[in-house]
Amino acid sequence: MNIRILKDKIAGRTMLVLTLVSILLAVLVAWGLFYRSLPLLENYSLTDLLTSSAWKPEKGEFGFLGFIMGTLWVTAIAIILALPLCLLVSIYLSEYAHPRLRKLIVPVVDLLSGIPPVLFGVWGVLFIIPLIQDHIAPSFVDNSAGYSVLAGGIVLAIMIFPLLITLFLEVFSTVPRDMLNASLSLGATPWQTVKKVLLKKAMPGMIASTVLAISRAFGETIAVLMVCGGNVPGIPHSVFDSGYPLPVLIANNFGETFSVPLYDSALLFAALLLFVIIFIFNAVSRIILARVKRKIE
């Protein structure tokens, strides 16, 4: 056999194996986390773990509700703040802005996406915390140190700006130009066209993009840890309460507390919970986005 063809075949087989192995990585991560959570799952029922908020590992009480609620609070605040802003910016960039202005704004959004989480945390501590403590909180509550789910939500909102804007722009670009032009030529104003044509056609892709942004916010750790002030587990009752989201639970305690029975198992269960939720969210929204894209191809 020709040596070139042999080389081609050998390289092909090697790369196929590598591709398959690397895809199995996801399975390996899931299995590893599940295997280490088993001791906890064997001793407690899943419903108890997810619906109790009593967290006293040394007494054998593992209730994740407080952490789940912490995650939901910061994520909800982040999405409520970021969604309308990013939607408006994306519509502006895709339908209104002059190409030159677009070329100025998009790179800034890209640069924002390159800023590491820890710098968002530092900025949150320097800027958002004093802002909440001195200016926002006093008009609503008597006493707030500033470290709160609101601070976490604001920082997270800015962190997901680039993701949301990039995805929205991508989705908008799949809407056929002819359709928008048809609407405009019938006398609709640009905003009416956006409302009645663009947003309607782009809806599935926009929902998928939002779900992706939610899952990004779910897993963010260090920035949230720096500004949420979560030291005591508990369910937040207002935006000015401190919060203790799931990733923070892992970051704060992992690697130190293996003398307490089942503690490490509980922390890896928290990681498994994050993995499963985010995996499902991502898979569903990526499939929807791929469908949206394929339609125009």
Partner 1 sequence: MKVKGRNIEERFFKILMIISALIVVGSFFLIVGTIVVKGAPAMSWDLITKVPSGGFFLGGEGGVLNAIIGSFYIAAGSSLLALLISLPVVIYINTYLRKRSWLGNLTRMGYDVLFGIPSIVYGAFGFTLMMYLGMRASLLGGIIAVTLLVIPIMIRTMDEVIRTVPNELYEATFSLGATRLETAWVILKQVAPGIMTAILLAFGRGIGDVASVMFTAGFSDNIPTSMEDPTATLPLAIFNQLSSPYEGVRAKAYASALILTIFVLIISVLARLLSKKFSKNKV
Using left for φ > 0, alpha for ψ between -120 and 50, and beta otherwise, residue 229 falls in left
Distances in whole angstroms, Cα of residue 18 to Cα of each of 12, 14, 25, 251? 10, 6, 11, 32
CB of 117 to partner 1, least distance (A): 7
Binding mask 277-296 for partner 1 (x = CB under 8 A): -xx-xxx--xx--x------
CB of 155 to partner 1, least distance (A): 10
Based on the shown chain and the rule CB under 8 A, indicate whether residue 257 belongs to the binding site for partner 1.
Answer: no
Angle at 283 between CA 199 and CA 107, to 5 degrees: 55
* Residue 255 engages partner 1 in binding (rule: CB under 8 A): yes
- Which of 250, 266, 288, 292 binds partner 1 (CB under 8 A)? It is 250
Size of the site for partner 1 (CB under 8 A): 83
Calpha distance 137→161 (Å, rounded) = 24
Cβ of residue 135: shortest distance to partner 1, in angstroms?
15
Looking at this protein, which amino acid is placed at residue 238? S
Of 41, 76, 179, 222, which one interacts with partner 1 (CB under 8 A)?
222
With binding defined as CB under 8 A, does residue 122 bind partner 1? yes
φ, ψ of residue 62 in degrees (nearest 5): -120, 90
Q: State which residue, 76 or 199, has the beta carbon closest to partner 1.
A: 199
Of residues 99 and 114, the one with the C-beta less far from partner 1: 114
Indicate the residue among 54 and 115 with the shorter CB distance to partner 1.
Answer: 115
Using the rule CB under 8 A, which residue among 161, 172, 240, 244 binds partner 1? 161
80 near partner 1, judged by CB under 8 A? no
Burial (CB < 10 A; 0-12, 13-18, 19+), residue 195, is middle
Give the x-and-dash track for 171-190 against partner 1 (CB under 8 A).
Answer: ------------------xx
- Does residue 107 interact with partner 1 by CB under 8 A? yes
- Cα separations in angstroms, 97 against 162, 190, 234: 18, 12, 46
Least distance from partner 1 to the Cβ atom of residue 196, Å: 12
- Taking the CA atoms of 183, 187, 190 and 193 in sequence, report the sign of the dihedral they define: negative
The verdict on 85 binding partner 1 (CB under 8 A) reads yes
Q: For residue 189, what is the DSSP state?
A: -
CB of 63 to partner 1, least distance (A): 20
CA distance 160 to 140: 27
Using CA atoms, how far apart are residues 25 and 30, in angstroms rounded to an integer? 9
